Structure 1
Amino acid sequence: MRSTHATRLLSGAATVALTLLAAPALAQTDTSQTTAQDTAQRSQPDTGIVDTDAPTGDDIIVVGTAGGGTRRQDAAFAVTTLSDDAIERAAPNSTADLLRTVPGVMAESSGGQNGANIFVRGYPSGGDAQFVTFQLGGVPIFPPSTLSFLENSQLIRLDETVQRVEAVRGGTGSLFSNGQPGLTVNVVPRTGGSELHGLAKFSYTDYDEARGDAWVSGPLGENTGFMIGGFYAQGNGIRDPGFRAEKGGQVTANIHHDFEGRGSVEVYARYLNDRGQWLLPIPVIQDGRKISAYPGFDAGTGTLLGPETRLTRNVQGNTVNLENGRGADVINTGITFDYEVADGLRVRERMSYLGGRADTVGLVPDGPPTAASAIATALGGAGSTVASLSYVNGGGAVASGADTQVMRAGIWSVQKKITSFVADTALEWKAGGNKLTGGFYYADYTTRDQWALGNQVLLTAEPRARLLNLTLNGGRTATQNGFTSGDGFLVDAYYKGSDLAFYAVDELQITSQLRVDGGLRYQKHIVDGNLRTPAATQVNLDGNPNTLYDNAVNVFGDRRALDPFREGRWSWTAGANYDFTSQVGVFARYSRGHSFPQFDNLREGLTIVAKVDTYEGGLKVSMPWLNLYATVFHNKFDGLATTQLINNVALSQVGGAKATGVELEGAIRPFAGFSLAAAGTFLDGTYQDFFTGGGAIDNTGNRVQRQPRWMWRVTPSYELPVGSLRPSLFATLQYTGDRFSDPENQQLRPRFYQLDAGVSVEVAERIRLQVTGNNLTDEIGLTEGNPRIIGSQGTGPVLARPILGRSLRFSAALSF
């Protein structure tokens, strides 16, 4: 239950924010607030004051380069930068949610703090974030961008220790780091300078989440500085299950030393221990494009998970605690070294280690609400009827009996113990207008997986659902403490992967206006492992045919070695950048990249190496009052191989796609204190020779799932002088177009708008208050449908995962 006082307080703040929408201000997620003088600014305090007249073409970006960085205006690829202030005003609900600000990216953060689905430029993917890599300080956090039940954003949180975020799409990404051809996101932390600075911040929401952030940085000696900070938060979440579903924090520390103009060295460590409810599809009502809430079930705040399902003991006798949710308990340490050993000759080393756990437990619905009588037939066969239907935990018989609307949902448990080591060594030689870089990349990573899927329970079709027991005619028992089945899909596996790559890139300044570059990379991908999966036959645990719940339980088969994988591929790119003036330029690029099969693909015998060819070109305008970045791209994608779990059976999906699109982003600052930022994407992406189930379904010509043709966001902000105060008013209006949740294009997800807004004001020297509102209109915007079926769900009650409902956050920060 929510605090009445807090709700009153924050509702009043929301009224203020909504009133401000009448002013010409809709948001400040200006993607170009980072300045070129990165080293000079790292010791400066974050006052929260926005210089909306600041030029932005001089932003120094590191991602997508050989390591030395380049001006955004000079980059011959599509890149977005976000400052710490832009991140705060975007008010993301999770790390992945921030990527909504990046053109060409469809980020679904409706799964909560963890478990995001992120899609890039029409690259075909069934979920997770197969073509997205997150880096910390230029080093991949975990080299495989996606494993089943684990994508990179699960392993890092955004907090006040982050100085900026950079994101490159396509371009040179296939050359550097782990060779990601899709999207590479670099999270750049603060570092210490010559003066002591810091910040303490407390925030509270109308759904009773409390969070504290803090950081401090300063000198340790001449040319040496430190930074340490992090956050801690806890609450029940917007979708409140009636217990503490969100809890944890993160600590980051680093020591940075400058070699008096010759280079620098930095050592860092980051510890993350955070978990939250894994938000899954809930029942809603769909009638074509019209979406409404299922009776009694708030689409923005409802969840099936509740006190009765939090702690259960399944038919195999195993206890699962859903309070553990989805999250990570990992430590990440590393070092970055950059030094000019001789005039024009530099050596760079970036190295990191990550180890810990990334577990997932969740209540996974099987289908929309249906009558108990239909469940009786499904469990007992034709002619089966409801003999009795009762509550497991008190309350006796269910009054409506066979007509009661019920649901089935699986209690899934996935445990992952992961490690990774990454080393990236590069040598750069610069002479005149030529810069040549060669490097070697090595990554070694492991995961120990233990899965237990299935384990379905019978539930009331309501928020915080109650467990039900069902008996059928003929004296048959369909449930045990609510469980209608035992283990379904099982995995017990150990995987080990290695990537070895060398790369070389040459950048040549032909004239003062024309710069060309080209590079290549060879990568060898090596995977070994051993595993157990379900045996060929199921077992009846108690030998009694009348106890239906344990008559067909999967058990492990024999352990086998994974077929070793040893393959390599060449990737390459060539690009050119031409500056008409120092403020206006164009670029063009071709690149070929690859995505190698990871552990889950190889477990199912899918050994295809994905290949993507990208053609792109763009216009860049960077002036004190205007920034504009426009990119046109065309992708051709071959060799996608993925699986979809249907009735506890892994179904293969293999093929390719092509996509053509336009990405726009920019900001205009017509007068002091006001800015209008905007971003938009048009995408025409379709499957090509794409088949499901070994060729049973041909999806050629269908639109790539879960990626709309149109996305855009408009983000104005305005600093309004009020006496001695200068409150900053901001908001964001975002549009997401029609999508299909499935490759067959049978599950329509209609277009929707989302409105966020807020106000920030410095009430005293170094003291700043801010109120932000998310989804202020309480829009029911659907992301995914039911990924555990093939084809349409029909009309009426369906399963879908809506965006989070309306919420408010109040924060107070003190900087020094």
Structure 2
Amino acid sequence: MKKQKSVNRLLTLALVWLISLFAIEPAVAQNTASIKGLVQTESNEPLNGVSVTATNLATKKSVSATTNEKGFFSISTLQVGSTYNFTFSYIGYETGYVNAFKLKEGNENSLLIRLKQTAADLTEIVTTATNTKRTQFETPMSITSLNAETIESKKFNSNADILRGIPGIITENSGGAVAANVYVRGLPTGGQYILTPIHIDGMPVLGTAGLNSSATDVYYRNDLNIAKIETALGGVSNLYGSGSVVGLINIISKTGTDVQKTTVQSEFATPGKSQFDFQISGPTGKNAYYSLAGTYRYDNGPVVFGLPTQGYQLRGNLKKILDNGDVFTLYGQYINDKAQYYLPYPIDSTFHRPQGWDGKTIYTLETKDVDNLTVKTPNGVYQSKGANGVFTKGGYLMVDYKHTFLNDLKFDFKAKAANYYHEFNFFNLSGSGVNPAPQGNFATVKLGSTITAFNYTYAGDGTTLNNNALVLENNMTDRIRPVNDFATQFSLTKDFTGKSVNQTLTIGGYFSNTNAGDFNFQINYLSEFNDKARILNLNYTDALGVKKAYTVDGVTTAPQYVNKYLSSIKKAAFLTNEVRIGQKLRVDVGLRVEGQTANVSSEKKATITNADGIKVTWGNGVYDRFDLNASDWALSLASNYKLSNQFAIYGNFSRGYYFPELRSYAVVYSNNVPQYPTLTTEKIKQAEIGIKHYSKNVNASLSAYYEMLDNRRSVAYVLTGGVVNQVTYITGSKAYGIEGFLNYKLSKNFNLYTTLSYINSTYTNFDQTPALVGNTVSRRPNFMNDATLEYKAGGFAFRFNNFYNGRRFADDANTTSFAPYNLSKIDVSYTLKGAKKETVSFNVGIFNLFDNDGITEGNFTAGTTQLNNQKYFIGRPVLPRSFYARTILNF
């Protein structure tokens, strides 16, 4: 006990001594003066982090400071009566100067300076999460930053429009407002952002993705509160947050300032979209700010088929700058939105939209009749939720606290909690594997050649189907997927300054707990082959003369049932060091160690025949339950060398991992003995070298990369006998390619932005089909080019964009390829400015200007092979031409 008291006394004395060290204020000479100042943009926005240097003209000694969140700085150790030159440096802005400023005695000295943004787009990099400000020119990786103006000019329907053309990112625009297919380079993954997780303000949308097949962009909608979107491929930046060695996408929100701002926007677009947005921000009190955005949308879907949807979202933040300089920000979102999704369907053998029996072009076989699909199950009557489309309701709260202590040790803490009710109900329009067929052929194939007196009628009103109409069997799959998620991250960052070597060391940790349900129920139905197809009943007489029905209210069978509960806990620690050697060399080193524990509960199922004679697959109340766990590490090395003020070379190498999608794991039975799976991480290595150029009018880069991915668990949905089953392939791949971008200010009024990507990706392993080794990974174009020509003069702006998507294979067997296509967009706007800096903008545009019907994907349920040897082929054309008009008010 005495020993413990002695220890307590020593600790108390030590604590008092430490406090006294920080409590002592240094003596200040009486002949010193202080200066305060404010640094803003040309539009009076405060600039945080501006480097301010005061140089005494007589002694040549310099003193430095940095502006705070409100753009203010203060220097209190200057000499009264002396004359100083002041320099203001900030990334992405021209250096500002105040020369020969003579200091007065006391605190009467003050400065106000406004910095002008540089001509080329070299915006500050926030995605890196390394707590040092860099431009693209200084960063040793491929990184793209899209500001709010660029996002506004690119957006049309989904994330695919915004991200299209970014080097290293492959997007497919066709599905609708959500669930964009987004891939990274040549890696064999689905389009659910698995290898490029989405972060919002530095935290992942979900701590663990892949618990089901819903893409993470279903949990939010793009709004006017987005300040910028940044993508980072490679480098230490990807070791933060949820972690992704290949890359991540970070959405950065606007926050309020001392200037009150309001934006109101309305948009009308064909084929029936009305959307209204607002964003308002400003001060709420002393050093306190807010920003709030809302969006409401009503539309008829990406193509019209009779099930309009609507929804809204509110998203914003509150920021408080404390007296000690700490910054506390609270973020929040609430969403209640439904959106329709558009999937592949039978197109003709020349890969163009077909015609129906009425001679009209078929844009979709999706139908409003699914709202009435009903089937009896062991638990009662089940009615399809197809009319809901993609439905998301819920939101998140996130806190971000930044504190600096012990002079320059920075502490950053983030915590985010999210809860969503989510449905993804979709049409699988490849049917039961039978292409659209004449009525007689379909009936005899399905029911046998001995049937007689068959007839097709519309299930809704009983009228007879036109004799020339083709028929096919489709299905509607309801997927109900509630999810709750908690994630937190903290980091400590310390700067070490030497004579020629400066370092920024960051150490931190990450934790997430994600839980999700995955209920799937499939209902097969019979329909005509026509635009906005109606569902059918088929009645016939069998060989014994008995009258029978193949369908009941259009339903043929309910062959699939899935009921899973999945949970995942991730724990990670990371350590990074950014080293700046002299003025030219930067070296980044990063290490991340992570472990995952997971649990899967999957209900077993059985098939019954209900009272209507329909086969229904349903759960039997017995569950397979098993645990999974694994751990791994990632290492990243990167370097950037400044050859001159205009040229820099860079390179990076990383060894990393991915935790496979948990939805791919299941118990396998052999002679009624369960065999439980084990969790094995996927391994990835990548290397990149490149050169960057920056001058007053040019921002450009060119790079080459190489990647190897092993033990990849590729998850696919394969249609067999009318039932969509989940299938897992163990694959490996390698890819190499070239990427580049050019932002060139051609003249005062003209600007050209263009990107290019060349990709060569092949399989090195394919467990179920070894013959596929050496084949090209499907749906990866060999070449892409995105080019935008922009003209601005006064309040007038004109933009023309063309995206070229090169040849791709529809399947991994490389049996069918899709021809290249161009997707063009034109956008014209005119802005009127008022005396108080308020503006009104009128904006019109055309998406898919030339109404191209290029194919983005084929039959995703066909497995590894899709043959084009029949009259019809399953494919999804890009969205048809659409016109839009927007009005934007800023005040």
Say if 2:683 is the partner of 1:611: yes
| Length-normalised TM-score, structure 2 | 0.81
Instruction: Pick closer, same or farther for the CA change 1:116–1:57 going to 2, 3 Å.
Output: closer
Other-structure match for 2:200: 136
Distance 1:664 1:364, change over 3 A: same
Partner SS, residue 446 of structure 2? helix
Distance, in Å, in 2 between the alignment partners of 1:384 and 1:576 is 74
Does the 8 A contact of 1:608 with 1:641 survive in 2?
no
**Structure 2 residue identity aligned to 1:273:** N
Which residue matches 1:667? 743
Corresponding residue for 2:829? 760
CA separation of 1:383 and 1:70: change in aligned 2, threshold 3 A:
farther
Bigger Cα displacement from structure 2, 622-631 vs 752-761: 622-631
Q: Which moved more, 1:107-116 or 1:431-440?
A: 107-116
Gaps of 5+ in 1: 1-34, 45-50
Q: CA deviation at 1:355?
A: 0.4
* Counterpart in the other structure of 1:798: 873
Matched, 1:564 2:627: yes
Deviation at 1:147, TM superposition (A): 4.0
Quote the residue 2:884 is aligned against.
809
Give the partner amino acid of 1:266: T
2:366 aligned partner: 305
1:415 aligns with 2:492: no
How big is each residue's C-alpha offset from its partner over 1:476-517, in whole Å with a ceiling of 9 and x where there is no partner?
A: 42111111111x232222211100000001111122101111
**For the structure 1 residues 62 and 559, does the alpha-carbon distance in structure 2 shift closer, same or farther, using more than 3 Å as the test?**
farther
What is the distance in 1 between the residues matched to 2:116 and 2:878?
A: 31
Are 2:813 and 1:704 equivalent residues in the alignment? no
Quote the Cα distance in structure 2 between the aligned partners of 1:497 and 1:382: 52
Alpha-carbon offset, residue 233 of structure 1: 1.1
Structure 1 position 129, deviation (Å): 2.8
Deviation at 1:322, TM superposition (A): 2.1
* Distance in 1 of aligned mates of 2:273 and 2:401: 39
Change in 2 beyond 3 A, CA 1:768/1:298: farther
CA change 1:399–1:675 in 2 (3 A) is closer
Tell me if 1:167 matches 2:231: yes
Aligned length: 755
Task: State the shift of 1:622 in Å.
Answer: 1.9
Residues in 2 aligned to 1:300 and 1:85: alpha-carbon distance in whole angstroms: 37
SS at match of 2:161: helix
Partner of residue 480, structure 1: 552
Q: Distance in 2 between matches of 1:506 and 1:132?
A: 23
What residue in structure 2 maps to residue 318 of structure 1? 382
| Equivalent residue number for residue 509 of structure 1 | 580
Give, in whole Å, the separation in 1 of the partners of 2:320 and 2:416: 18
Which amino acid in the other structure matches residue 272 of structure 1? I
User: Contact 2:657–2:682 at 8 Å: present in 1 too?
Assistant: yes
1:190–1:227 contact (8 Å) kept in structure 2 = yes
Determine helix, strand or coil for the equivalent of 2:217.
Answer: helix
CA gap 1:294/1:736 in 2 versus in 1, 3 angstroms = farther
Distance 1:435 1:52 in 2: 28
Alignment of 1:663-812 (within 5 A): 663-691=739-767, 695-696=768-769, 698-720=771-793, 726-765=795-834, 766-790=839-863, 791-794=865-868, 795-812=870-887
Output the amino acid matched with 2:406: A
Residue correspondence of structure 1 range 62-141 to structure 2 within 5 A:
62-141=126-205
Distance (Å, rounded) in 2 between the aligned partners of 1:697 and 1:541: 42
Q: Which amino acid aligns with 1:112?
A: G
The residue aligned with 2:733 is 657
* 2:20 aligned residue: none
What CA distance in whole angstroms lies between the structure 2 residues aligned with 1:293 and 1:397? 23
Residue pair 1:60, 1:70 contacting (<8 A) in 2 also: yes
- Tell me what 2:275 maps to: 211
Question: How many Å separate the matches in 2 of 1:446 and 1:398?
Answer: 47
**Relative contact order (C-alpha < 8 Å, sep 6+): which is higher?**
1
2:878 alignment partner AA:
I
Percentage of identical aligned residues: 21
Separation in 2, partners of 1:297, 1:575:
61
Which letter does structure 2 place at the counterpart of 1:520? Answer: L
Alignment check: 8 A CA contact 1:125 1:705 kept: no
Deviation at 1:256, TM superposition (A): 1.4
1:48 aligns with none
1:516-548 C-alpha deviation (Å, 9 max, x unpaired): 11111110011013220434xx32223x8xx4x
Q: Distance in 2 between matches of 1:301 and 1:205?
A: 21
Equivalent position to 1:594, from 651, 654, 657:
657
**Alpha-carbon offset, residue 103 of structure 1:** 1.2
Alignment partner of 1:443 out of 512, 517, 526? 512
Q: CA deviation at 1:658?
A: 0.3
Candidates 467, 471, 485, aligned match of 2:535: 467
Residues 37/588 of structure 1: CA separation in 2 closer, same or farther (3 Å cut)? farther
TM-fit CA distance, 1:263: 4.6
Check the 8 A contact 2:373/2:555 in 1, yes or no.
Answer: no
Give the CA deviation at 1:555: 2.4
SS at 1:526's partner residue? strand
Asked whether the equivalents of residues 57 and 71 of structure 1 are also in contact (C-alpha less than 8 Å), the reply is no
Q: Is the 8 A contact 2:120 2:744 kept in 1?
A: no
Q: Is the 8 A contact 2:604 2:624 kept in 1?
A: no
1:703-732 deviations in Å (ceiling 9; x for gaps): 111110101111010014xxxx53101010
Q: Give the partner amino acid of 1:467.
A: I
The amino acid that maps onto 2:859 is N
Q: Residues of 1 paired with 2:569 and 2:661: CA distance?
A: 11
Return the match for 2:567 from 480, 496, 499: 496
Residue 230 of structure 1 deviates from its aligned partner by: 1.6
Maintained 8 Å contact 1:91/1:772: no
Which residue is 2:342 aligned to?
279
**Contact 2:797-2:830 at 8 Å conserved across structures:** yes
Q: What TM-score do you get using the length of structure 1 for normalisation?
A: 0.88
C-alpha separation in 2, matches of 1:801 and 1:708: 16
Q: Return the letter of the residue paired with 1:525.
A: Q
Describe the SS at the equivalent of 1:496: strand
Q: Distance in 1 between matches of 2:359 and 2:134?
A: 48
Equivalent pair of 2:245/2:634 in contact (CA under 8 Å): no
Larger-gyration structure (1/2) = 2
Matched-pair contact (CA < 8 Å) for 2:158–2:173: yes
Paired residues of 1:129 and 1:146 also in contact (CA < 8 A) = no
Contact 1:639 1:655 in 2 (8 A): yes
Q: 2:393 touches 2:420 (CA, 8 Å); kept in 1?
A: yes
- Comparing 229-238 with 468-477, greater Cα deviation is found at 468-477
**CA separation in 2, counterparts of 1:620 and 1:300?**
48
Superposed displacement of residue 337, structure 1: 1.6
What is the DSSP-based 3-state SS (H/G/I as helix, E as strand, rest coil) of the residue aligned with 2:779? coil
TM-aligned CA deviation for residue 456 of structure 1: 0.7
Whole-Å Cα distance in 2 between the matches of residues 699 and 128 of structure 1?
Answer: 24
Aligned-pair distance for 1:53?
8.7
User: How far 1:556 sits from its partner (Å)?
Assistant: 1.8
Alpha-carbon offset, residue 171 of structure 1: 2.8
Contact (CA 8 Å) 2:209, 2:661: kept in 1 or not?
no
Q: 1:696 to 1:814 in 2, by over 3 A?
A: closer
Q: For the residues of structure 1 that align with 2:688 and 2:359, how far apart are their CA atoms?
A: 43
* Stretches of 4+ aligned residues off by more than 4 angstroms: 35-44, 259-263, 295-301, 381-386
Q: Please, what is the CA RMSD of the aligned residues? A: 2.6
CA apart distance, 1:242? 2.3
Q: For residues 212-361 of structure 1, what are the structure 2 equivalents within 5 Å? A: 212-244=276-308, 246-259=309-322, 262-287=325-350, 291-295=352-356, 302-316=363-377, 317-361=381-425
Unaligned runs of 5+ in 2: 1-44, 51-67, 72-114, 668-676
Match of 2:526, as an amino acid?
L
Displacement of 1:52 in angstroms is: 13
The alignment partner of 2:222 has SS state of coil
The one-letter code matched in structure 2 to 1:396 is: T
8 Å contact from structure 1 (residues 490, 533) kept in 2: no
Q: Tell me the amino acid that sits aligned with residue 376 of structure 1.
A: A
Deviation at 1:572, TM superposition (A): 0.6
Distance in 2 of aligned mates of 1:96 and 1:353: 27
